[in-house]
Structure formats: structure tokens, C-alpha cells
């Protein structure tokens, strides 16, 4: 099923088959967006599409794509261009998390993480922001992490990739200042998703883990308000504000402590 080009607001969500991406798709459908859902697992996307259609009457297009493939972002963009479909809100949610020491983790795993978290996100942003600028209307929501503010041992590449997402988003906000195109970077803390489950960070007390639905709702509100950066959760926001005023040696020490204490 494909959203019609004349139907109104349309959002593209990557990593939509689970976690924050799935919850963002639900929030967007509830707010009358038609959707393009992108993830590797087509069957899960089709199930979600049927549910959103039944619950909200949402028109949904499903694109099965692995963003670890360098050709995937262009393929997604070209399919939508061929369909004459305008994307009003791009949600760059897809991401990988790899936990372990930098010196022993597989190089292929590290490069795959960077391909998804950095390269694909950059490519999709560049491809879709150009038509947004041309029509002077559009929104981008990039999902980073509180790890963007702290170099975290045993999550070195992941945290660095999220710092890139944060930096790029803030720079684009300046470039797009004065236009009606906005970029919002959402920074959740540890969230109850499949990405965290199975890692040491999933063993934290439940009070320290946010649910994906809450994160998605906060992210949607921040995006629609055109907020440049939003840290999800009051405790996370307070922690980030504290970090900003600390010397770099202390911030590094905090990252090391979080790794030893299995926080994130």
C-alpha cells in the first residue's frame, strides 16, 4: 500500500520494525501522517502497516532495506521519487549498538555500525533535505543518545557515532536558520528496546530504563516544536546539563565509570 502524493503530511521512519522507531510510527499515525516504513525485516513492517491501517486508517508504504548496504539510502530515495511521493518528515532512527573493547571488537562490526549510524543517516538527510529546502518546508528528526555527550568506554564507536549525529544536527540547524525546515536531535538514555536487550546496559534497574513509547512521544513533540536538541527524560536532561559544565578529564572518568557500572 502506497501513500498518495496528494494526501497530506507523509513521514519516513527508518528502523521502524521495533523499539523507538516502531513507537514513533504509531505516534505519527495517530497524528494523521501517512507513512513510509524502512527496515530490514519486511514481515514485521507489513504487520505494523496492517495494524496502523486498522487503528488509524493510515496509508503505509513498506520498503525492506538494510542500511548497512551503502546503496540503500539512494534506493529508498529513488523509489519514493519514482512514486512521486513527498516526504515532509524524515525520521533517522535506525541504528546499531555494539558493546565491547575497541581493541578486540571485530573491525567489520565497527565499520557496519558506522555505516548505519553515521553514513546512512548522513546520506538520507542529504537526499531528503534538498527537496525540503526547495519547497521551504520539512522536518528531520535524528535519534542520537545521551552517549553523544560522553565518551563511553566499551561503547567507544557507538558513543562517537552519536556525537556525530548530534553535531551534524546542530550544524544543520544553523544552516537552515530562517527557513521552514527544521532539524531535531533526540537523545534518549537507556531505553527498553531490542538493541539494549542482551547487553550489560539492559541489566540496569528498571527505574533507570525508559520505555520506547515515552521516548517516541517526547521526540515527536520536540520535532513538531522545531526544538534543535531534546534529551528524553528529566533525569537524563539533568545529567547532560551537569556534564556540560564539567572539565574534560571528569567527563572521561564518568564514561569509564558508566562502562564499569554497566550504565549508559
- Which CATH superfamily includes the segment(s) 10-260? NAD(P)-binding Rossmann-like Domain (3.40.50.720)
pLDDT value at residue 5: 42
Grid cell listed for 245: 559544565
In order along the chain (264 residues), what is the average pLDDT of each group of 10 residues? 60 96 97 97 96 96 98 98 97 94 96 98 98 97 94 92 98 97 93 57 55 94 97 80 76 65 42
Cα–Cα dist 104/126, whole Å: 33
pLDDT tens, residue by residue, 138-191: 999 999 999 999 888 899 999 999 999 999 999 999 999 999 999 999 999 876
Geometric angle at alpha carbon 263, from 259 and 264, rounded to 5°: 90
pLDDT value at residue 221: 97
Q: What is the pTM of this model?
A: 0.88
Grid cell listed for 47: 504487520
pLDDT value at residue 246: 72
pLDDT value at residue 247: 77
Cα–Cα dist 149/145, whole Å: 8
Query: How do strand 60-64 and strand 34-39 relate by DSSP bridges?
Result: parallel
pLDDT value at residue 7: 46
Instruction: Tell me whether residue 220 is one of the annotated catalytic residues.
Output: no
Cα–Cα dist 222/68, whole Å: 28
- Listed in order, strand segments (DSSP E) in the chain are 10-14, 34-39, 60-64, 89-92, 138-143, 181-187, 191-192, 210-211, 229-231
Domain edges within the chain: 10-260
- Sheet architecture: strand order including 181-187: 60-64, 34-39, 10-14, 89-92, 138-143, 181-187, 229-231
Grid cell listed for 78: 529513488
Amino acid at each position: 500500500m502506497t501513500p498518495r502524493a496528494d494526501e497530506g503530511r507523509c513521514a519516513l521512519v527508518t528502523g521502524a520494525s521495533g523499539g523507538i522507531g516502531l513507537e514513533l510510527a504509531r505516534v505519527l499515525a495517530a497524528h494523521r501522517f501517512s507513512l513510509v516504513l524502512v527496515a530490514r525485516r519486511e514481515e514485521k513492517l507489513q504487520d505494523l502497516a496492517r495494524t496502523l491501517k486498522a487503528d488509524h486508517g493510515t496509508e503505509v508504504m513498506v520498503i525492506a532495506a538494510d542500511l548497512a548496504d551503502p546503496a540503500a539510502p539512494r534506493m529508498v530515495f529513488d523509489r519514493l521519487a519514482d512514486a512521486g511521493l513527498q516526504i515532509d518528515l524524515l525520521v533517522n532512527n535506525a541504528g546499531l549498538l555494539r558493546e565491547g573493547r575497541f581493541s578486540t571488537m571485530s573491525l567489520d562490526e565497527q565499520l557496519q555500525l558506522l555505516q548505519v549510524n553515521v553514513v546512512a543517516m548522513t546520506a538520507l538527510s542529504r537526499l531528503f533535505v534538498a527537496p525540503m529546502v526547495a519547497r521551504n518546508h520539512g522536518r528531520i528528526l535524528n535519534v542520537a543518545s545521551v552517549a553523544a555527550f560522553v565518551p563511553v568506554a566499551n561503547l567507544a564507536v557507538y558513543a562517537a557515532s552519536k556525537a556525530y549525529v548530534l553535531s551534524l544536527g546542530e550544524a544543520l540547524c544553523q544552516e537552515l536558520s530562517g527557513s521552514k525546515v527544521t532539524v531535531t536531535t533526540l537523545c534518549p538514555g537507556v531505553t527498553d528496546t531490542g538493541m539494549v536487550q542482551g547487553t550489560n546496559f539492559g541489566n540496569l534497574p528498571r527505574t533507570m530504563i525508559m520505555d520506547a513509547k515515552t521516548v517516541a512521544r517526547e521526540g515527536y513533540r520536540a520535532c513538531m516544536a522545531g526544538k534543535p536538541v531534546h534529551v528524553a527524560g528529566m533525569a537524563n536532561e539533568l545529567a547532560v546539563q551537569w556534564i556540560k559544565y564539567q572539565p574534560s578529564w571528569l567527563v572521561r572518568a564518568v564514561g569509564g565509570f558508566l562502562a564499569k557500572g554497566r550504565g549508559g
